Every structure is written in structure tokens, then in C-alpha cells.
Amino acid sequence: MITVYHYMVLSAILFSLGTIGVLTRRNAIVIFMCVELMLNAVNLTFIALSSHLGNMDGQVFVFFIMTVAAAEAAVGLALMIAFYRNRESIDVEEFNLLKW
Amino acid sequence: MENLVQTALQNINFAAIMPSLVLASFAMVLLLLNAFMKRGVTAPAAGISLLALVATGFASISSWNNAQFGFAGHVALDNYAIFFNIVFLIAAGLTILMSDAYLKREGYPVGEYYTLILFSTVGAMLMASGTDLMTIFLGLEVLSVSLYVLAGFFRGQLRSNEAGLKYFLLGAFSTGFLLYGVALIYGVTGTTNVADIGAFLSLNPEAVSNPLAVVGMLLMATGFLFKIAIAPFHMWTPDVYEGAPTPITAFMSAGPKAAAFSAFMRVFLVGLGSMQASWVGLLWVLAVLTMVAGNFVALNQTNLKRMLAYSSIAHAGYALVGLVAANEIGISGVLYYMLAYAFMNIGAFAVLVLAGKQGEDNLTLEGFAGFGYKRPLLGVLLTICLFSLMGIPPSAGFTGKFYIFAGALNAGYVWLAVLGVLNSAVSLYYYLRVMVYMYFREPTEDFSWIQLKIGATVCLILSVAGVLYMGIVPSGIMALARQALF
């Protein structure tokens, strides 16, 4: 029997994987994919909890998260293209003009 | 089904989102108009944006002391939201004033710039008036997505590209934390409405110590603190602030920071107020850490934009002290301080905008040698803004800090207030050093390239007037801030 706890554990694992990916990967697009993984882990949590609580708010929230993630992707990829045009690379190690 | 539609219609109250509605309509019309305007002419777009901000200001003020609620508890246009709306509108207005000549000088005279500022202001206003985590999240994203573009607006400049991309990656990352926190709080309380969360937690004391609720609270705090740039989540701030166009840096340090503060305070004081025991100690430590990190790293910065970025981190730390105090004088002190900070910081940035050459490589301490003698008026105005940032009376910065630290003392956080005052003393060093360069060094340049462009000059004068007014007659604004508590 799959209960809400299984979903919670699964989404916690997915969220951690996303976080580790953001912190360790060097390619901006892969980092962005890891952020998307984190957001989808959140979506899974919301849906599991929504069905467990019998309350629709969580599912509505998921729609908003998906919409916002799409808008973010549009802006983020545009920024990456602008960066690539000037640098010929999107490796975050190349972020070397600004540093403390 | 019919019942459902009827209830939904009854819950709608457009008066509650009127300011956002007005500003968003203006922004969309302006976006269309931009398509028909002559390339390279941005003054009309700036004029329309200023008009939009004034109209929005009236739409906000008309609900003062007459709170509007709507959309099934998702939005509340109460005094608290209105006060913050005015802060955002002032920050956006001053930013737009200083932008026009700057955009021309840097070679990007594009009208969409103003539209993006208006949209980010809409997001900020939604955050301040949101009473549901869903609305707050949407406001935050409208604000952030516009700002990602604005930070990377100079798309031919590598510095601006880097700033935009860095801000985007770290901003999206922090949003993930915020949302996971919201999801866990939703799991514990069964609602995303801030007031309902507060009611649930006070009725079910066992939920307050539920590990899921505590983890959710911590994750949510991480998301918000990232946006406010509280240490140890401040690493992006100096880089982004240095790389972004200067007026946008000014805007980011005043408007969006205040927006994140407004939502953070509403969620934590109204929604998670019963969990105060578990967050107050944490915020105490982070406030001290932020003040120390901001002030001590600012000590050896030679680039003025970067120095002001670190100083803005320190100022977020001072404001957090007021939230830790969480009493009437502390919270109204934070509101007061946000307005004061908008004036004094944007004023300082306006001088940088006026004094910069194309590319802005001269905005260093050395580049300001003798500035006070060659350009006495600008020197004096910058000095007033810096005195206010230090917290020297009679300036807005002094009264703001005074209220915040008084709140901390009232709430019994004596050490926090003492550490805050000591940190202000440390900050004297790097602000005074600018003045030392301005007045006690031989000028190496004649600053003949500086033209007092009308927009930036008006912005600077208004900012200084605001700083002096709030410093000399603090009681008027403070009375408004007190009425603005929820």
C-alpha cells in the first residue's frame, strides 16, 4: 500500500537530488534543470498532501508553480543565450568578472 | 455549480487589488506603445511610467484606514500594504527619474526598461497585500522575473549578463526552498491562507513543535532571507548589484528588499506567530551575522557600487533587528526604515549615476578624489545621503535606526541593540572614507563630463529632501507607520 508518507519521502529525495545538483554542477543549463527538479519535487509534495487532506488548495498551487516555472524558463534561457553570445560558454566557472 | 459561481463572484473585490490593477494596465499599454515609439527616444515612456506611478499612488492612498479584502482571503489592501505600496512607488519613481540619461549614455535607450520596472513594482505590491502564500508566491515571481531581465538588461555587456544569469540561477534556487517550505506548512495546517495558518497553530499547540512544521518554517525563512540578502544567503548580492545597471541596483536595494520584508513579516508574525520561540533565536543570530558580514567586508571595498552593495546587506541586518523585537515600535521602525532607506540609498546612487563616465569604471574611491571641491553641490548632497546611511542626526537613517534599536531594547534584546550600535560605528569608517577622498585629496580630474541631467538631478533633490524631512520631522511618517501595523 502506497501512503502519503511514501510520496513525501520520494519528493524529499528528489528535492535533495536537485539541491545537490545545483551545488555541484557547472553547466548553467544543467543547474537550471536541477532547479526544475526541485520545483517538481515540490509539486509532488503538494499533490500528495492535497489528496491526503482532501483539500484542493494544493492542486491549485501546483498549477501556479508550473506556470511560473515556464515563465522563469523563458527568461532564464534568454539570459543564458545573451551570456553565451558574449562568452561562447555557459560554464558557471566562467563567471569571473564579478567576485568578492 | 451555480452556487459555486455565485460564491466566487461574491468573493471578488476589485477594490482590494486596485493599485496593482491600475499599474499593470498602465504597464501593458506602455508595452504596446513602445512598439510604435521611435527607437532611441525613451523620455515619453519615462513620463507615462511616472504618471502610472502617481495614479497608482492615489489608488492606494484612497483605501487608507478603509481596508479592502477580497478574493476569498487572498488579498488585503490594509494600511500595512498601502504603506509598503508607497515605499515601492517612491523607489520606482526615483529610479525612473534617474534612468533616462543613463540609458542613453550606456547605449541602451529602450522603452521596455520602464515597463519592466512597472511590472516588478506590481509584483512587489502583490507581495505586500498578499494574505495567502499563493498570492505572495505569485507576487514574488512577478517581481523576480522582471528583475532578472533588468539585471541583465545591457545584453552586450558581459558584466550585466553575468549579473542577470547569477541572479536568475540563485533566485530560482531560493524559490525552490520557499515553495518546499510552503508545501510542508500546507501539509501540517491544511491551508495556505496566512491568517488560517495562524489560527490553526494557535488552536493546535502540538502542531507548533511538529518537526514538519519546523522544517517548513526554516525552508520558508531561507527563501525569504535569500531575497532580503541576509547572511549567510547574501553571497549573490555584491556581484549582482555591481553588475546590474546602476539605477536598477538602486531599485533592487530599496523596492524588492522592502517587498520581501513585507511578505516575510506578514507570514512570520501573523501566520507563524505561535512558532516565535523557534524562529526568534535564529533571526537574532542571523541579524548579528548580517550586520557584521556587511559592514566588515565593506571596509576594504574600493568600488563604490560594491561598497554600497555590502552596506545594503548591513542595512538589511539592522531592519531584521526590528523584526526580532516584534513589538509595536520595532515593527513600525522597520516600516519607517524601509522608506528612509529608499530615500538615502537611491540618493547616493543618483550621485553615482551623474558622476559616472560611460562604462562606469571611474566609480571608485580614487575616482572621487577632490570631487567635493570640483562639484560642490553634488558633493554636499552625496555627503547628506552618506551621513544618513551612517545614522548621524538629523537624518532619516538616524531616526530609523533609533526606532529599531529602541524596539529591541523594549523587547529586552539589550545585546542585540548594543551590537547594532557598535556595527553602525564600524560603518562610519567606510562611509567617512568616501568623504575623505572627496574633500581631503587633491583632485586628479576636473569632472568636466558631469552634466546635471534634469531627471537625475530632480531624483537626487527629492531623495535628499526626503532624507532631511524624515530626519527633522520624524513624527509625521512614524505616526503613519504606527497606523500601518496589522
CB-based contact A82 B152, cutoff 8 Å? yes
B393 or A100, which is more confident? B393
Q: Are B142 and B119 spatial neighbours (Cβ–Cβ below 8 Å)?
A: yes
pLDDT confidence bin for A97, thresholds 50/70/90: low
A residues 25..44 contacting B (CB < 8 A): 28, 31-32, 35, 38-39, 41-42
Q: Which is it for the CA torsion B376, B382, B384, B386, positive or negative? A: negative
Half-sphere exposure of B450 (CA within 13 A, CB side): 24
CB-based contact A65 B164, cutoff 8 Å? no
| pLDDT of B150 | 96
- How far is the C-alpha of B55 from the C-alpha of B113, rounded, in Å? 19
Question: Which DSSP string do the residues of B205-231 spell out, in sequence order?
Answer: HHHHT-HHHHHHHHHHHHHHHHHHT-T
**Which string of b and e fits B444-458 if b means at least 16 CB within 10 Å?**
eeebeebeebebbbe
Q: Does residue B181 have a pLDDT over 80?
A: yes
Q: Does residue B425 have a pLDDT over 90?
A: yes
- How far is the C-alpha of B408 from the C-alpha of B346, rounded, in Å? 27
| pLDDT of B357 | 87
Q: Does residue A96 have a pLDDT over 70?
A: no
- How far is the C-alpha of B360 from the C-alpha of B283, rounded, in Å? 37
pTM summary value:
0.94
Beta pairing class for B75-77 and B68-70: antiparallel
CB-based contact B164 A79, cutoff 8 Å? yes
Q: Does residue B372 have a pLDDT over 60?
A: yes
pLDDT confidence bin for B2, thresholds 50/70/90: low
Domain that holds residue B145: 2-483
Q: Does residue B410 have a pLDDT over 80?
A: yes
- How far is the C-alpha of B260 from the C-alpha of B163, rounded, in Å? 20
Show the cell assigned to A95.
563567471
Q: Where are the domains of chain A?
A: 4-98
Which residues are A27's β-sheet partners?
A91
Asked if B153 reaches chain A (Cβ–Cβ under 8 Å), the answer is: no
| pLDDT of B4 | 67
Count of structural domains within chain B: 1
Which residues in chain A have their CB less than 8 angstroms from residue B197's CB?
Answer: none
- How far is the C-alpha of A58 from the C-alpha of A51, rounded, in Å? 8
pLDDT confidence bin for B173, thresholds 50/70/90: very high
pLDDT confidence bin for A93, thresholds 50/70/90: confident
* DSSP at B356: P
Q: Are B23 and B118 spatial neighbours (Cβ–Cβ below 8 Å)?
A: yes
Query: What fold does the segment set A4-98 form as a domain?
Result: Helix Hairpins (1.10.287)
Under DSSP, is residue B303 helix (H, G, I), strand (E, B) or coil? strand
Q: Does residue B411 have a pLDDT over 80?
A: yes
Mean per-residue pLDDT over chain B, rounded: 92
- How far is the C-alpha of B86 from the C-alpha of B65, rounded, in Å? 15
| Mean pLDDT along residues B90-108 | 93
Q: Does residue B218 have a pLDDT over 80?
A: yes
Q: Does residue A85 have a pLDDT over 60?
A: yes
| pLDDT of B40 | 81
Asked if B57 reaches chain A (Cβ–Cβ under 8 Å), the answer is: no
Helix (H) or strand (E) holding B70: strand B68-70
| Mean pLDDT along residues B358-376 | 88
| pLDDT of B1 | 57
B444 or A30, which is more confident? A30
Q: Are B222 and B174 spatial neighbours (Cβ–Cβ below 8 Å)?
A: yes
The partner residue sitting opposite B148, judged by closest CB among A79, A83, A99, is: A79
Show the cell assigned to B399.
531616526
| Mean pLDDT along residues B346-358 | 92
| pLDDT of A100 | 40
Complex ipTM value: 0.95
CB-based contact B242 A22, cutoff 8 Å? no
pLDDT in tens, A26-72: 889 999 999 999 999 999 999 999 999 998 889 999 999 999 999 99
| pLDDT of B442 | 87
Q: Does residue A98 have a pLDDT over 80?
A: no
pLDDT in tens, B261-291: 999 999 999 999 989 888 999 999 999 999 9
CB-based contact A79 B149, cutoff 8 Å? yes
Q: Which is it for the CA torsion B426, B427, B428, B429, positive or negative? A: positive
Ramachandran bin of B125, using left for φ above 0, alpha for ψ from -120 to 50, beta for the remaining angles: alpha
Under DSSP, is residue B399 helix (H, G, I), strand (E, B) or coil? helix
- In chain A, how long is the greatest CA-to-CA distance? 54
- In chain B, how long is the greatest CA-to-CA distance? 79
- How far is the C-alpha of B115 from the C-alpha of B33, rounded, in Å? 10
Which residues are B193's β-sheet partners?
B132
Determine the number of helices (DSSP H) and then strands (DSSP E) in chain A.
3, 0
Percentage of residues of chain B with pLDDT beyond 70: 99
Distance from CA of A13 to the nearest CA of B (A): 12
Amino acid at A79: L
| Mean pLDDT along residues B134-146 | 95
Instruction: List Cα–Cα distances, A53 to B74, B269, B298, in angstroms.
Output: 20, 25, 49
Residue B132 neighbours by CB distance under 10 Å: 24
Q: Does residue B486 have a pLDDT over 80?
A: no
| Mean pLDDT along residues A8-32 | 93
Of B164, B186, B315, give the one whose Cα is nearest residue B243. B164
